[in-house]
Structure 1
Amino acid sequence: MRLTALPAFADNYIWTLAGDDGSAVVVDPGEAAPVLAAADAGLRPQAILLTHHHDDHIGGVAALQARFPGIRVIAPHEPRIPMATERVTEGESVQALGRMFHVLSVPGHTRSHVAFHTAEHLFSGDALFSLGCGRLFEGTPLQLLAAMRKFAALPPQLLVCCAHEYTVSNAVFARHVDPTNAALWQRHEEALAMRRDDRPTLPVTLAQELDCNPFLRTQSATIRHAVAAHLGRPVIDDVDVMAGLRHWKDGFRA
């Protein structure tokens, strides 16, 4: 299977997973043009996976449905995604291209956000970024913590395919929180080199994220100490750490 990140807008990625014959699953097509261009070069979209309702993830679906009548559109139970043909939720799986895509419910960024994973790939939408996570637009710190724990429990060899190129900016905050983490420093330097060459910093293994992403490491003494210092008081529990970390990141300026 061939995994490709199609650039969209300023910093989005539309992921495609394609077989040798071009048959493909498309993830979060916020605009149609990159997918249509790939189709002109031989891509044959068979199914669309949607992680959440934001327009930069679903805005291209209608045009793709017009180009590929009958294409499957698989989405969470969310009325703000009216074009879905199939609905999925936690613990369910869908088959496409002969592979199983397992569904995780990961609310936080939005209340109905889901992620999809195969035996090799994790399509995390805006729930998990490299070295970061999505803002809490509709969810709570408790939900965000639960989502991060679900991600952390997945096989570490999975390739994380998130929807935005935020790695370098996330690294600046992560290094501020966790300045002695050698793996994080290395990831930052590698990401800088990739972007200088106009290459995506993704996918990245979940194992690397578990070593470097502060939002996956709320039990780390270093992270807890940094959040407590920022708050000016001891942290109460992991939810308090997550809430403090997310609020800190929201207002962070390098």
Structure 2
Amino acid sequence: MTVLVLGGTAEARALAAQLHDHGVTVVSSLAGRVARPRLPVGEVRVGGFGGVDGLTAWLREHDVRAVVDATHPFAERIGTNAFHATQAACVPLLRLARPGWQPHSGDRWHWAADLDEAAAMLPNLGTRVFLTSGRQGLAAFATLDALWFLIRCVDPPGPPLPRHHEVLLARGPYEVAAERALLTGHDIDVLVTKDSGGAMTAAKLTAARELDLPVVVVRRPPRPRADETAEVAEAVKWVLSQ
């Protein structure tokens, strides 16, 4: 059987490895937005499919038995396309979604519907911002000339960017002590993040809590309703049952 894993996440790589061990032919699809992605085992496909119609045709052409959408929680377009393409091609779909973060006692979280709302909140929360929402969508913050930004992302971001900023290129996982030192060393007084979930980038939230800093958390975009699990082992069982 051939299984398409829409990936780019740690969960997608773990799933591809376990399915490979079970003798399943896995094709992992990466969006191609990261210059040096961590590659999973098995066949890797980089780039888009050409929308719903292109993905539908690809599923039929390659006789795909099942699709697992293990993309980043904010990869809204491919998630929606996968839902409609699998419906059209009559291929079962499973969403492998890591749980979102939950606030703890002492957290000062402010939820935002999107990056624009997050940007609108900032002037009332601080002046030195640690921005960890990725390099996509930074234009939402470009007009906040009174604020200073430390922008952390994997690859260099393109314009438009905030007038006063520093770019830090880094890739997780991160540790609490290092995150705390980063926040204090740059005099950060507010953190902005997407609700990505998972342990690899959660240390900044702990550090912000320890330093009593406000955190703007961008909510996940909605996805079409589909079968879903948070566990790689459950996703393996689901695939093998198809």
Q: TM-score range by the shorter chain?
A: under 0.3
Larger relative contact order, structure 1 or 2 (CA cutoff 8 Å, min sep 6): 2
